[in-house]
Amino acid sequence: MKKTNFLFLFALIISVSLSAQIKDRKLDKVIQNSLETFDVPGISVGIIKDGEIVYAEGHGVRSLKNNQPMTKKTLVGIASNSKGFTCFSLAMLVDEGKINWDDKVRKHIPEFKMPDAFVTEEFTIRDLVTHRSGLGLGAGDLMFFPEGSDFTIDDVIANMSKQDKKSAYRSSFKYNNNMFIIAGEVIHRVSGLTWEEFIEQRILQPVGMKDSKASYSRVTDKSNIIDAHTRTEGEVIAITHDWSDLANPAGGIMSNVSDMLTWAEFLMNDAVTKNGERLLSEEQMHNLWQLQTPLPVRKDNDYNTHFSGYSLGWFVSDVNGGYKQVTHTGGLLGTVTQFTMIPELDLGIVVLTNQMVGSAFSAITNTIKDSYLGYKDRNWVEKYGEKNEEWITYNDSIKKAVYDQVSNRKAKNTIAASQITGTYQDDWFGKITIEQNGEELLITSERSSQLKGKLLLYNLTTYVAKWDNRSFDADVFVLFTLNEEGEAIEATMKPIAPITDFSFDFEDLHFYKVEE
């Protein structure tokens, strides 16, 4: 028997195996178990195989506020899965001869600057979307995260030069949302359309993603949309949607399982729509999934993977000894998603959730993927459940120890409130104000309206900023530097616990006391 025939027979056998699992509702049980194990209110899951939708269902509820059912049509913020759409848009403009992947960014955005003059001149469109800028993880994300800041695209462009370098240019992978925001501005300036208009008119509509919108603010019918949920003070609660329109090119698209399966089918059909319209050349479609920034691979990994890295808006790797996997995840406050394709198997998997526990989508995706790759049941829900519980317990223990010290701390021989009150300024984030209100110390950000809370004494020169919005789970140490007269002249921040989302890039801030 020829090898190709053997592989076809093998794929057919495991396809029948999964179909049997779906028929006897084993997959339903896995998803239900995930809801309970990871305390997620709602999850929707979709599978497309050989151009046929073999599974598309919602489980649980879309909001704890109304207990309405999660369905395959329930809209969810797909977050960073939007990055694939941004890169697809750029590829379309390459096809049209309007840009080249290796165009210098300054050709299209002359005011663009990086901290290093050489990097400024050499930085390309390809660099914008491959996380190899040399800046740190999430550098500058506080300009758009959490929602409610007044930063603009002009601020984002101007503030890139004010970020600290963390590694050499193009030397390592450091995930960066703001570069995708700038890529969205390239699309705007070159096409004459806003990023949102381009995504909807040039991609979503022709592909047939009828329910999807380029941003939350463009969704007019919110009758079947999730509420985001987070674990706050030990309890999962519904919170308001949190994503700034400024950052849409990095993570703004709203979609559902039905539409994301359509997107998967379109991509695996070499960018040809169901109507036979080709939206991208074969060359550019091929380029989108070519590795650009390598990532390390553990020797003892779960899928016999030999290479891994980031392409143009996608993570790419090999699984099970040779199949190419194209995937991405996404996370907003209270929402996480995963989108996976194995093109050689013509397999696409979509998992959308309304709680920010990545272990849930990983357990479900891996269970489905294993069925097609021939792995026996590896109990992913149980494995990830144990790790998730350990992670929560670990972070809770750190936070408890900090607040135990705060509550037991006495003011004797420590920095006084009068020594730290005033206004401080960071080069790119702007001003914060520390003021005394009765017996309380309050901290507020001038440009990010949600970043406000209480300052609580921790040790000799350190306070804890306890944010009013408890769903952030991002309280920080505020460390003061004093002059010879005992007056605070500088302040830095450091997250209390590692569970803090990297987009709360407090560690990138360095505040200097300014005259009021």
505 near 141, Cβ under 8 Å? yes
**Rg for the chain, CA atoms, rounded:** 24
271 near 278, Cβ under 8 Å? yes
Residue 25: the pLDDT is 78
| Backbone conformation region of residue 432, classed left if phi is above 0, alpha if psi is from -120 to 50, else beta | beta
Cα separation of 369 and 34, whole Å?
16
Helix axes 177-191, 83-95, angle to 10 degrees: 40
Cα separation of 506 and 139, whole Å?
9
Cα separation of 296 and 193, whole Å?
38
Q: Which domains does the chain have, with CATH numbers?
A: 3-377 (3.40.710.10), 410-514 (2.40.128.50)
Cα separation of 103 and 105, whole Å?
6
Q: Within 10 Å of residue 336's Cβ, how many Cβ atoms?
A: 27
Cα separation of 83 and 43, whole Å?
22
Cα separation of 463 and 16, whole Å?
60
Cα separation of 249 and 177, whole Å?
9
Cα separation of 220 and 282, whole Å?
35
Q: Which phi and psi angles does 514 have, rounded to 5°?
A: -125, 160
Cα separation of 370 and 380, whole Å?
10
- Closest by Cα among 495, 357, 509, 513 to 448: 509
- Closest by Cα among 452, 455, 468 to 418: 455
8 near 42, Cβ under 8 Å? no
Secondary structure of residue 136 in the 3-state scheme:
coil
Task: Supply 110's token pair.
Answer: 């002359």
Cα separation of 323 and 375, whole Å?
14
C-alpha to C-alpha distances, 399 to 395, 476, 498, nearest whole angstrom: 6, 10, 10
C-alpha to C-alpha distances, 258 to 46, 254, 255, 384, nearest whole angstrom: 7, 12, 8, 27
Beta bridge partners of 455: 441, 465
| Backbone conformation region of residue 77, classed left if phi is above 0, alpha if psi is from -120 to 50, else beta | beta
Q: What's the angle, vertex CA 427, arms to CA 424 and CA 432, rounded to 5?
A: 25
- Closest by Cα among 362, 300, 398, 460 to 45: 362
Task: Supply 409's token pair.
Answer: 């701390």
Q: Where are the alpha helices (DSSP H) in 374-438?
A: 380-408, 417-420
Task: Supply 276's token pair.
Answer: 């036979």
- The DSSP-derived string for 298-334 is -TT-TT----EEE-SSSEEEEETTTEEEEEEEEEETT
Per-block mean pLDDT, blocks of 10 residues, the chain (516 long): 41 51 77 97 98 97 98 98 98 98 98 98 98 97 96 98 96 98 98 98 98 97 97 93 95 98 98 97 98 96 96 97 94 96 98 96 97 94 97 96 88 79 98 95 97 95 96 97 95 98 97 89
Beta bridge partners of 53: 48
Cα separation of 469 and 453, whole Å?
8
Strands (E), 30-72: 42-49, 52-60
End-to-end C-alpha distance for the chain, whole angstroms:
82
Secondary structure of residue 476 in the 3-state scheme:
strand
Residue 285: the pLDDT is 98
C-alpha to C-alpha distances, 501 to 396, 467, 470, 472, 507, nearest whole angstrom: 15, 14, 13, 8, 12
Residue 166: the pLDDT is 95
Cis peptide before 146 (omega within 30 of 0): yes
| pLDDT one-digit tens code per residue, 346-383 | 999 999 999 999 999 999 999 999 999 999 989 999 99
Q: What DSSP designation does 472 have? A: G
Secondary structure of residue 274 in the 3-state scheme:
coil
Residue 335: the pLDDT is 96
